[in-house]
């Protein structure tokens, strides 16, 4: 759960394998914004983990 002002936000991540490529679809509840849902497609570098990328994305979401 993400929260900036006491209102909780939910997020979900789905992993897709297409050929040799691995992608993650990240959905974030933004019901307190203009649009109720935000979607991001993430393709990680080989040495990155999804958890590391999610920590960075969550920090950016909560700061802005």
Instruction: Report how far residue 44's alpha carbon sits from residue 12's, in angstroms, rounded to the nearest whole number.
Output: 17
pTM across the whole model: 0.59
| pLDDT tens sequence across 12-61 | 888 888 888 888 888 888 776 677 777 888 887 766 777 777 777 777 76
Instruction: Report how far residue 49's alpha carbon sits from residue 22's, in angstroms, rounded to the nearest whole number.
Output: 11
């Amino acid at each position: 759960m993400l929260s900036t002002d006491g209102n909780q936000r939910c997020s979900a991540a789905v992993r897709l394998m297409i050929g040799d490529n691995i992608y993650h679809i990240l959905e974030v509840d933004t019901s307190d914004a203009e649009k109720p849902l935000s979607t991001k497609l993430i393709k990680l570098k080989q040495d990155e983990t999804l958890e590391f990328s999610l920590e960075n994305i969550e920090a950016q979401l909560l700061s802005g």
